[in-house]
Amino acid sequence: MNELIIDTENAIKNLQSNMQNTFRYLVAKTIKQIGESNRHNTIHKRYQYSINQIKKTLQQNNLTIARADKSKVLIIIDKTVLKQKVNKFIQENNIMELNKDPTEAYHKQLQQAMKKCEDLIETNRRKYLLNIKPLHQKLMLT
């Protein structure tokens, strides 16, 4: 960076005296942008290193990050304990696995119901009320 500054100053000295200040301003602005972009890159590398260390620690200790209930709180929990809690919840609430995903059928019913309600819902606003391709959440218990 210092070499760049020295080289540009030497080049500016070769210009006409009335043009030197203009170019000094432009060069200073450009060098400042370069310096700031390098700082952000360094910070990004530090964050990436920290994230990789956290991932490594989680894997070594058989831990995972999960959302607590319906809040925005995150917890760190042992994977086997989480699996046991999910299985217990499924058994206690008599939850069964479905053979076919009903999301598509419900989506079609919803579209038909909205078409019947033309007086309540304008045609051009209907597209904002429906998901294009709704997906259900998949629960993996492996």
Name the pTM for this structure: 0.48
- Render pLDDT for 86-133 as a digit per residue (tens, 0 to 9): 889 888 998 888 888 888 888 889 888 888 887 887 878 777 787 777
The predicted-structure confidence for 28-56, as pLDDT tens digits, reads as follows 888 888 777 766 667 777 888 888 899 99
Distance CA 17, CA 39 (A): 34
